[in-house]
Structure formats: C-alpha cells, structure tokens
Structure 1
Amino acid sequence: MKKLAGSALLLALLGGCVSTAATTPMARAPMISIPAGTGLGQVVGASAASLTHMFGAPIADVREGTARKLQFSNATCVLDTYLYPKGNGEPVVTYLDTRQTDGSPIDRASCVGALQIGRRK
C-alpha cells in the first residue's frame, strides 16, 4: 500500500512539471503551408513597387521623412513593412511586423505566405 501511495505521489508531482508551452499565444498561431519561392527573403530588402507587385495595393501608406510604412492585410493576417533608404537609394524593407487580424501573434513567414497565396487566387 505504501508503494502504491508513493507512486501516486510521484505521479502527482511529475504532473506539475508538464510544460505549459501549448497555452502560449504563439502555440495558437495558425500554421500555413508556404509554397516554394515565397517568404521573408523576398520581403526584406524589397522596394515599395516590389511589395505592391507581391501583395497588391497596401491598405495603409504612411510616410515620415524618408521612412515609409506600407501595411497589407487579408482575412488571415496583417503585415506592416517599414522601408528606409540605404544611403541615397530608394527606401527598402528593413523591418517587418505581423499579427493575426484579431491582434494575436502569427509567424512572420506564415503571414507573408498567406498574403502571397491570397494574391495568386
């Protein structure tokens, strides 16, 4: 009986060690299949014209000095791209941010892929 009680106590203690990673916001982000030839590599360093070609017309275009923010969205996510000039050159994407349409986190590559897939339809 003592052995059974000891085993039950051990199981109860180990049960408290279970990871809660599945309850984090990132664990709930939808996984989207991304076709070859898409992704962050095409976005980082892209010009405004390239972004428009990839995603269509932005839903927001904000300029502040030489910096520019273009925002793209579909039913899956929102992509904010921040373009800054390199030297005297044309502004290009140096940073991007993504979120689901309800504000929850989503993987950046998944959002870019979802926007590109939606554009092809």
Structure 2
Amino acid sequence: MRITLFLLPLGLAACATQPVPRVPQNSAPPAPSFSAAGLERVMGQHASTLTRLLGEPDADVREGPARKLQFASNICVLDAYLYPGKDGAEPRVTYIDTREPDGSAIDRASCLSALTRRDGGR
C-alpha cells in the first residue's frame, strides 16, 4: 500500500500536459526568403542585356553612378540595380527586387520568367 501511495503522484505527474507556448496574435509572419536560382540571366549583366531580354524599361532612374531599371507587367514589377565596377567599368546588375503590383512579395525568378513573356501580358 505504501508503494502505491508513493507511486500515485508520480503516475499523475506523467499524465500532465506541458503548456503550449503562445504566439502573440499580432506578430507578423516571417518574411519570405527567395533563392538566387533562375536569376543568372540578369545578375551581373549590362543594361543592354536587360533591354534585349525584357524590352524597354518602364522606368530608368539614375542617381550618381547608380542606375535602376524598372520592368513591369500585370503580374509583377522588377527593379534591377546597376552599379559600375571598381575600375569605372560599365554598370552591371548587382541586385534585383521584385513585387506584385499591389506590393506583395513574389519570387524573383518567377517574376523574371513572367517578364520575359510580358509582350502579350501587358
């Protein structure tokens, strides 16, 4: 009987559930992360290569030595940022940013793929 009284609290403790951590209701979802796969056609390229691939840019913004070319369709918007090399070489794409027309995130490679076919999608 003594053993039963001693083991009873241990048995009940084993059945207890652990509290589930609560996530605050107003916390934002984590930002999506996108890979660079599929971007080989634009990264490191000159403006002329982008124009041949995507057509005339919808915006061409220059600020000092930097340049931003923007290409848009009804599916997405792509901003390509070009910077000259250390030796003053012709600017090349060093970064791209993409978004849906409403500002929502979109995979960069998917946007690029859509823009290469945008002639009929505008």
**TM-score exceeds 0.5:** yes
Q: Deviations over 1:36-91 (max 9, x none)?
A: xxx31011011111111111111110101111000000010000000001122100
Unaligned runs of 5+ in 1: 1-9, 17-22, 27-38
Is residue 53 from structure 1 mapped to residue 52 from structure 2 by the alignment? Answer: yes
Instruction: Name the structure, 1 or 2, with higher relative contact order (CA <8 Å, separation 6+).
Output: 1
Looking at structure 2, the residues matched to 80 and 95 of structure 1 have their Cα atoms a distance apart, in angstroms, of 8
Unaligned runs of 5+ in 2: 1-16, 23-28, 33-37
Helix, strand or coil at the partner of 1:81: strand
Structure of higher CA gyration radius:
2
Percent of aligned pairs with the same amino acid: 53
How far 1:25 moved relative to its partner? 7.6
TM score, norm. by length of structure 1:
0.67
Q: List structure 1 runs of 4+ shifted beyond 4 angstroms.
A: 23-26
Q: CA RMSD in A?
A: 3.0
- Which is helix-richer, 1 or 2? 1
The answer to whether the 8 Å contact 1:70/1:81 transfers is yes
Looking at structure 2, the residues matched to 56 and 117 of structure 1 have their Cα atoms a distance apart, in angstroms, of 10
Looking at structure 2, the residues matched to 74 and 106 of structure 1 have their Cα atoms a distance apart, in angstroms, of 13
Is residue 100 from structure 1 mapped to residue 107 from structure 2 by the alignment? Answer: no
TM score, norm. by length of structure 2:
0.67
